[in-house]
Structure 1
Amino acid sequence: MARLTCRYLLKCVKLFVLFGLVNGLFIMGYKVYFEVKYRTVQYPCDLKTHNREIVKKSMLQAGNASRSHNVQEQCKPFQSRIKMSKLRKTFKSQMPLFVNENYTLWSNVAEYPLPFGVQSYESEIDDLLKVVKETAYPKELLRPGCKKCVVVGSGGILAGSGMGLEIDSYDVVMRVNGGPTRCFEKDVGTKTTMRISYPEGAPQEPGEYDPSELFVLVPFKSKDLEWLERVATGRTVSWIGYWRPRIANSVPIPRSHFRILNPEIVGHTAFDLVKFPLNKGRKYKNVPTMGTICIMAAMTVCDEVAVAGFGYNPNDPDSRVHYYEDMKMDTAFVLSTHDIHGEKQFLKDMVKYGIIKDLTGGIMW
């Protein structure tokens, strides 16, 4: 009887292991299929013959004076931060933008783990700061005077918008994740002051990086810190351990141009401003989208903040999620790990009270 029971249990264990392997292979196969079908940039031009300088010249020649007028209006110092403080009394306007050697002295940064803080990751961050040593702001933010910034998302609303010239005329251009500019200059502009992203969201094409831009990592897990160390030192990267089967293997900018976003900005945005649940610091439907994280990063250093390429129309399931790929809205909402509806109301309030200016008008949909 005991032998029969042991044999039965052994068979059950084997079946369980086999099921796990099959299920794992199925999930991996679907991820690869999804990446190829939906996550491939659809360039509308030939990259081999594309000349950005010629495109920029034609954009300037065909420039619409009325569009540039909005940007040339007199900048109002601290406007976005003053209005944000009225909407949310808990808003912190003095947080450092990047992690630096003094990060352990900051008030709430050790209260939560990544991406909301640095709890249990201090030694890894210390090691990374020995490689990524520079923590200074870009020169556009260091110059005196009032600064206007635009945060450029990847929303499908940018397709055919002709917003490129207006985007480029802002003092600081912050781009979210891997939204490409090559072949899309007329709609999204050519200028990039800093790109804020993570390994799975960063551009996979080396040609998408401008040598003068800053790359700002938003770390969600330990592998992200490892990834930054590897790309900053020119070492190879394996996709194993990441959320997607394809990640950026190279970020061809000087090592001095890499930064780490202050995780306190993510935690403050999630828990104090958007009012997501704490979940004891666990990541589940309480992580802001990269777009909102970038907006709040801009709020800490810019006097006026505008956005472009934000907002989705949930009532149109066939509309494109991004301006550069074929994924539709119905697919995005099924796959989303964010509380998109809860976050959207927060962004609507920011537009309503004049905290941010929505250049493409998608947030109020």
Structure 2
Amino acid sequence: MKSNIKQWKQMVLIGMLAWVLLFLALFTYFMDYRVDDPNATGSMSYTETRRLTSIQGNNRVIMVSQQEAAASDPNSHSDLFNYHYVSEQAAVNLQSKPIQTRYSLETNGKNTRSRDRRTTRSSSGGIWFAAGQQQMSRDDRHTMEKLYPDEDDPEEIKQEPITRRKSRLGNSSRRREKLLDTVDDLEEYYFLKSKSVIYKLWKGNVSSKMLTPRLQKAMKDYLNANKHHVNYKGKRRTRLSGEEVLCELKSQIRVRSLDGTEAPFSSLGWDKLVPKVSINELYPLGFRSCAVVTSAGAILNSSLGKEIDSHQAVLRFNTAPTEGYEMDVGNKTTIRIINSQILANPNHRFNISTLYKDVTLVAWDPAPYTVNLHKWYKNPDYNLFTPYVEYRKKYPHQPFYILHPKFIWQLWDVIQGNTHENIQPNPPSSGFIGILIMMSLCDEVHVYEYIPSIRQTDLCHYHERYFDAACTLGAYHPLLYEKMLIQRMNTGTDKDLKKKGKVTLPGFSAITCKT
């Protein structure tokens, strides 16, 4: 009897032990699963958390287009760089609160990683790059193999099925942290590469071969696509000095807008629709000193607002606001250049927004290189013509111009003619166009953060929340070559360029050229 009781007690103890072991196994399993769950923010490491919170207000992320109108246009020039992970608030509200991203190129060590984290995680646990680096090229993988020779390929891990990925990573948080460190190093590699290009740009000696593989591929794709059928037959004058380039621009470039006298606009009554005074005659006395304020993210925390407002005239771009950013960008606006997307996309509220009132408006849209106005009118990149007519009828006294495509492509010809490499066969950026307009109106032009200062960042615009090195170095637009040309003509100091991101250019009226 006693032996039976003893045997029964042993069985109870064994059963209790089995239940304890089962409970511990289940507890361990669920804790490991929670560590792997990207939505379980409470278990995120400090590295992950700072990466997310610097670019988004919450842990919910969505995929949006860099330019909203481009999402619905299969022919948009944004196709190669449409998608970025950004905060939902920023996607809906393009004029969100100022982003404080104070950091400089002089920062060293691991602290540089706290600047502006540009990676986040998809709902399936994969790693996405907000800078458009969704896929690693062969060169990127080679770089990472050098950094971490014993690690699995991050691109391969990202593309594995969820179940397989969990089986590989779900049982080891240490392995997960190694992967995050690998991504951190790839991110740092891209940022440092952009930084080195900026250093070279300051010296006026940079090549597209210095860009990241992603941007090099984008440039090659645009060269092959040649959407606007560019056929440059001019000479290459790559050895011209800054003064010689200035004289070339003065002799060849004249700001020109649609005047309604050419077909098909002449048959549509545009001669009575457009302003009676041309843009060249709008300011007969000109301006002594002017500011061109780019929308670059690097202008944040610059405290340049007072200096910018001290100029007689100030030019701004697209949807760039001043309210809430006065300390850095000032609040004066004389001229605003807008691309055709601003007119065509209802989200920009072009007809009702106060952003476009009480200023001179200058719009532009890419046209064929041959400047076929009939073809352009029937098939613009974005339909700016209908909104333009409506706006002119509603506000007939406000100066509002559409730049003539011939002027746009003349600028492109000058850039290509002064560049040894073949540049993207796409129109110059709004920034370059704006600089040349102000050079025709002002004795002296001060350009802010067109060529980045030590505050350089991949934040595209100071008032928006997406990151991409292409905004600084170019993908669709030949930005890299534009900036090299502007730096060649820069008469300002190295200190102004590096500390303020300021380039100083003489206006055409102040240039004396040999005949």
TM exceeding 0.5:
yes
Closer, same or farther: CA 33–225 of 1 in aligned 2, 3 Å: closer
Closer, same or farther: CA 350–130 of 1 in aligned 2, 3 Å: same
Percent of aligned pairs with the same amino acid = 23
Rg larger in structure: 2
Closer, same or farther: CA 159–200 of 1 in aligned 2, 3 Å: same
Q: 1:288 maps to which residue?
A: 428
Moved more, 289-298 or 159-168: 159-168
- 2:413 aligned to which of 264, 271, 284: 271
Closer, same or farther: CA 216–225 of 1 in aligned 2, 3 Å: farther
Moved more, 132-141 or 219-228: 132-141
- 1:163 aligned to which of 304, 322, 335: 304
- Across the aligned residues of Structure 1 and Structure 2, the Cα RMSD in angstroms comes to 4.5
- 1:325 aligned to which of 454, 464, 467: 464
Q: 3-state SS of the aligned residue for 1:305?
A: strand
Contact 1:128 1:229 in 2 (8 A): no
Alpha-carbon offset, residue 330 of structure 1: 3.8
Q: 2:110 maps to which residue?
A: none
**Aligned partners of 2:425, 2:492: CA distance in 1, in Å?**
26
Q: 2:489 maps to which residue?
A: 350
Quick check: which one's helix share is greater?
2
**Aligned partners of 2:433, 2:426: CA distance in 1, in Å?**
12
Matches within 5 A, 1:1-365: 31=82, 40-44=93-97, 86-93=244-251, 95-101=253-259, 122-124=263-265, 127=268, 129-130=270-271, 132-136=273-277, 142-144=283-285, 147-201=288-342, 204-205=348-349, 206-221=352-367, 222=376, 223=380, 226-234=383-391, 254=396, 256-275=398-417, 284-312=424-452, 319-330=458-469, 332=471, 336-352=475-491, 361-362=500-501
Q: 3-state SS of the aligned residue for 2:447?
A: strand
Contact 1:321 1:327 in 2 (8 A): yes
Alpha-carbon offset, residue 255 of structure 1: 5.8
Q: 3-state SS of the aligned residue for 1:310?
A: coil
Contact 2:242 2:488 in 1 (8 A): no
Q: 2:148 maps to which residue?
A: none
Contact 1:276 1:286 in 2 (8 A): no
**Aligned partners of 1:168, 1:359: CA distance in 2, in Å?**
21
Q: 3-state SS of the aligned residue for 1:287?
A: coil
Contact 1:154 1:176 in 2 (8 A): yes
Closer, same or farther: CA 132–180 of 1 in aligned 2, 3 Å: farther
1:296-351: CA deviation from partner (whole Å, max 9, x where unpaired): 111122211111232347997x6312111122234647982123322221121122
Contact 1:157 1:323 in 2 (8 A): yes
Closer, same or farther: CA 199–181 of 1 in aligned 2, 3 Å: same
Alpha-carbon offset, residue 291 of structure 1: 0.4
Give the count of matched residue pairs. 264
Closer, same or farther: CA 358–285 of 1 in aligned 2, 3 Å: farther
1:275 partner amino acid? G
**Aligned partners of 2:85, 2:268: CA distance in 1, in Å?**
35
1:166-220: CA deviation from partner (whole Å, max 9, x where unpaired): 2222121111222112222222122211111212256915434252211111121
**Aligned partners of 2:308, 2:476: CA distance in 1, in Å?**
29
**Aligned partners of 2:267, 2:440: CA distance in 1, in Å?**
24
Contact 1:209 1:252 in 2 (8 A): no
Closer, same or farther: CA 146–127 of 1 in aligned 2, 3 Å: same
TM-score norm. by structure 1 comes to: 0.57
Contact 1:84 1:91 in 2 (8 A): no
Q: 3-state SS of the aligned residue for 1:217?
A: strand
Alpha-carbon offset, residue 31 of structure 1: 4.9
Contact 1:151 1:308 in 2 (8 A): yes
Contact 1:98 1:135 in 2 (8 A): no
Closer, same or farther: CA 332–168 of 1 in aligned 2, 3 Å: closer
Contact 1:100 1:135 in 2 (8 A): no
**Aligned partners of 1:151, 1:196: CA distance in 2, in Å?**
11
Closer, same or farther: CA 315–285 of 1 in aligned 2, 3 Å: farther
Gaps of 5+ in 1: 1-23, 46-82, 105-121, 236-250, 278-282
Q: 3-state SS of the aligned residue for 2:337?
A: strand
Contact 2:260 2:274 in 1 (8 A): no
TM-score norm. by structure 2 comes to: 0.42
**Aligned partners of 2:449, 2:294: CA distance in 1, in Å?**
5
2:458 partner amino acid? S
